[in-house]
Amino acid sequence: MALEIVVVPDLGGVESVEVLEFNCKPGDNVASEDALLVLESDKATMEVPSPLSGVFKRYLVAEGDQVKVGDQLAELEVVSESEAVAQPISDSLESIASEEKPYADVVEIAPVLAEEILLVVPDTGSDVPLDVVEVLLKVGDEVSEGDAVVVLESDKASVDVPATASGLVREVLVSEADKVNTGDQVARIAVPSNVSDAAPTDDANPDASTSLVVPADAVLPAEGSESSEPSVAPSVAPSVAPSVAPSVAPSVAPGELMVEAMSPQTVQLDVYAGPAVRLAARELGVDLIEVKGTGPRGRISRDDLNKFVAVRLLEATRAPKNVVGIPAVPEIDFSKFGSVEKTKMTKIQSLTAVNMQRSWLNVPHVTHFDEADITDLEAFRKSMRDQADLRGLKLTPVAFIVKAVARALALNPVFNRSLGDDGKHFVQKFYIHIGVAVDTPKGLLVPVVKDVDQKGLWEIAKELGELATRAREGSLSAADMQGGCFTVSSLGNLGGNGFTPIVNTPEAGILGVSKAQIKPHWNGQEFKPRLLLPLALSYDHRVVNGADSGRFMVDVVSLLGDLRSFIMH
């Protein structure tokens, strides 16, 4: 074997071109003239053909690179002349079969017994020659009956020519841009003799009047073949091959085969894609018309195809069986409407997005609204400001709210449970750990104050302050954020009349707190200005019922409204 370097050919005056697409992977057998890669200038694309048959080794450029005439593109291992002479042609099938591992298994006994057939262009139904726009097979390929082997194009449509027998490709007799007519030779294929043996003969099928396959030795005696007598002598040349009886029976009647060959499914007029992508799409069963090309002038790249398949797979796994699934959000190119910039989400933002969506999609949410009169609480809190300063603490309404929620959880244990994994049992918790949502520059974090029921207000205020600071500094540990039974999300320092928080599943509930405002309040005799705190309790309706939530909210409101009730419970 000798190493052959493939270089950029004459570009017809164009100074440099872009490497658009690769067609091969290391180890691929390539035939002379097979397209190795696609180059593109701002005016046209061109395929770089393999100068010789051989084994593709590697590319020496990357997709997207700019290259000039003479630049090295790829390495091939080619059979040197002396090796080629030394290897009898009759051995070539054997060597191909042993290199092609998947096929080697199939043709364990076949190589020496294999027979060659000639694949020809079926009746195209056209008076004028058709262009060969794609050749989808190369020497050494394994083809299965029905595989598209070449794509022909008239000025009206593209049609696939299918293989009519399974076997190994020995020779490709057409190239892209050739013009072909009905009956023209397309390829020589070696088929295991047990297959061809099973084929009906002329006698067995006296009505057969058309054929897409003739034995290769009928028109081209196989090199090294002992017998020069064709097993079925053609009565005419290949251009009238349809009158020759088949040596390998098509799996469908010839008339049906024509329908398949000219099926509208194969028409791909609006598609701009290279041969490798078309072949891959065929193998994956993807209709390229559905794939959006992101390359120059909408050319579909392998990446576009991969992305399309990945999205379809994701949609398929997400869609519930037999019911209408959640429709995917269409991808929108916002840059069509104005200037945009893409920024990567932080880790915290990505995790929050997943958690929020999981909860939103899994938990049947209900939100219960109320207001707590915190006029007296605020007066008390402000009266404690000096003491707070002495302790180096900030005593905000949030510490009181967390304390009130802990008491309400103890009074309403249905809120202190979670739904079991199987959806058939509850897990009741006998500890009270409360998460508090903290807004940080990197995203939302929810550290947990543990055993709130056993802590006083000063201790809660201290811990809250420390946890919020560490959250903003990014120094919380995983343990700091685990074990929560319920969450408090306070936007009270910011404003707003109310919002519906999303349950931090598997917790049963979350209390959203908005900004306290002085409002006229009817005390039974007169309107009095009172400081009212808007509260919104969202809960998982699988775990908690509306009446439970009513009781929980009444307790929170009364605890915040009258501090004396803290010592009464």
Long-range pairs of 461-464 with CB within 8 A, sequence gap ≥ 24: 461/388, 461/393, 461/394, 461/395, 461/396, 461/399, 462/391, 462/393, 464/396, 464/398, 464/399, 464/402, 464/436
Please pick, from the candidates 20, 24, 261, 437, the single residue that binds ligand CAO as defined by CB under 6 A.
437
Based on the shown chain and the rule CB under 6 A, indicate whether residue 489 belongs to the binding site for ligand CAO. yes
**Part in contact with ligand CAO (CB under 6 A); list of ranges 181-189, 195-203, 233-241, 488-496:** 488-496
Rounded to the nearest whole angstrom, what is the least distance from the CB of residue 461 to ligand CAO in the complex? 8
**Token pair belonging to 387:** 């003491």
Based on the shown chain and the rule CB under 6 A, indicate whether residue 493 belongs to the binding site for ligand CAO. yes
Rounded to the nearest whole angstrom, what is the least distance from the CB of residue 470 to ligand CAO in the complex? 11
Residue 101: in which H helix or E strand, if any? helix 101-106
Based on the shown chain and the rule CB under 6 A, indicate whether residue 54 belongs to the binding site for ligand CAO. no
Strand 54-59 versus strand 72-78 pairing type: antiparallel
Rounded to the nearest whole angstrom, what is the least distance from the CB of residue 496 to ligand CAO in the complex? 10
Which residue, 152 or 560, is less far from ligand CAO as judged by CB?
A: 560
Length of the chain in residues, anyone? Answer: 569
Residue 82: in which H helix or E strand, if any? helix 81-86
**Side chain identity, residue 562:** D
Based on the shown chain and the rule CB under 6 A, indicate whether residue 509 belongs to the binding site for ligand CAO. no
Residue 232 makes CB contacts below 8 A (sequence gap 6+) with 201, 202, 214, 215, 218, 244, 245, 247
Note whether 163 and 144 are within 8 A (CB). Answer: yes
Based on the shown chain and the rule CB under 6 A, indicate whether residue 468 belongs to the binding site for ligand CAO. yes
Based on the shown chain and the rule CB under 6 A, indicate whether residue 163 belongs to the binding site for ligand CAO. no
Which residue, 121 or 516, is less far from ligand CAO as judged by CB?
A: 516
Which residue, 308 or 400, is less far from ligand CAO as judged by CB?
A: 400
Number of Cβ within 10 Å of residue 64's Cβ equals 8
Based on the shown chain and the rule CB under 6 A, indicate whether residue 515 belongs to the binding site for ligand CAO. yes
Annotated catalytic residues are 541
Rounded to the nearest whole angstrom, what is the least distance from the CB of residue 531 to ligand CAO in the complex? 8
**Part in contact with ligand CAO (CB under 6 A); list of ranges 200-208, 233-241, 434-442, 561-569:** 434-442
How many angstroms separate the CA atoms of 422 and 34, rounded?
A: 57
Rounded to the nearest whole angstrom, what is the least distance from the CB of residue 393 to ligand CAO in the complex? 11
Please pick, from the candidates 158, 359, 490, 538, the single residue that binds ligand CAO as defined by CB under 6 A.
490
How many angstroms separate the CA atoms of 93 and 102, rounded?
A: 14
Beta-bridge partner residues of 172 = 187
Which residue, 182 or 489, is less far from ligand CAO as judged by CB?
A: 489
Which residue, 144 or 497, is less far from ligand CAO as judged by CB?
A: 497
Residue 78: in which H helix or E strand, if any? strand 72-78
Strand 115-120 versus strand 185-191 pairing type: antiparallel
Based on the shown chain and the rule CB under 6 A, indicate whether residue 511 belongs to the binding site for ligand CAO. no
**Token pair belonging to 535:** 């509260």
Phi and psi of 355, rounded to 5°? -60, -40
Q: How many residues bind ligand CAO (CB under 6 A)?
A: 20
Based on the shown chain and the rule CB under 6 A, indicate whether residue 491 belongs to the binding site for ligand CAO. yes
The interface with ligand CAO within residues 394-413 (CB under 6 A) comprises 396-398
How many angstroms separate the CA atoms of 470 and 467, rounded?
A: 5
Based on the shown chain and the rule CB under 6 A, indicate whether residue 359 belongs to the binding site for ligand CAO. no
Which residue, 279 or 503, is less far from ligand CAO as judged by CB?
A: 503
Based on the shown chain and the rule CB under 6 A, indicate whether residue 516 belongs to the binding site for ligand CAO. yes
Rounded to the nearest whole angstrom, what is the least distance from the CB of residue 44 to ligand CAO in the complex? 54
Based on the shown chain and the rule CB under 6 A, indicate whether residue 557 belongs to the binding site for ligand CAO. no
How many angstroms separate the CA atoms of 27 and 246, rounded?
A: 35
Based on the shown chain and the rule CB under 6 A, indicate whether residue 444 belongs to the binding site for ligand CAO. yes
Note whether 146 and 251 are within 8 A (CB). Answer: yes
**Token pair belonging to 537:** 């309790």
Binding site for ligand CAO (CB under 6 A): 396-398, 436-439, 444, 468, 489-493, 501-502, 513, 515-516, 533
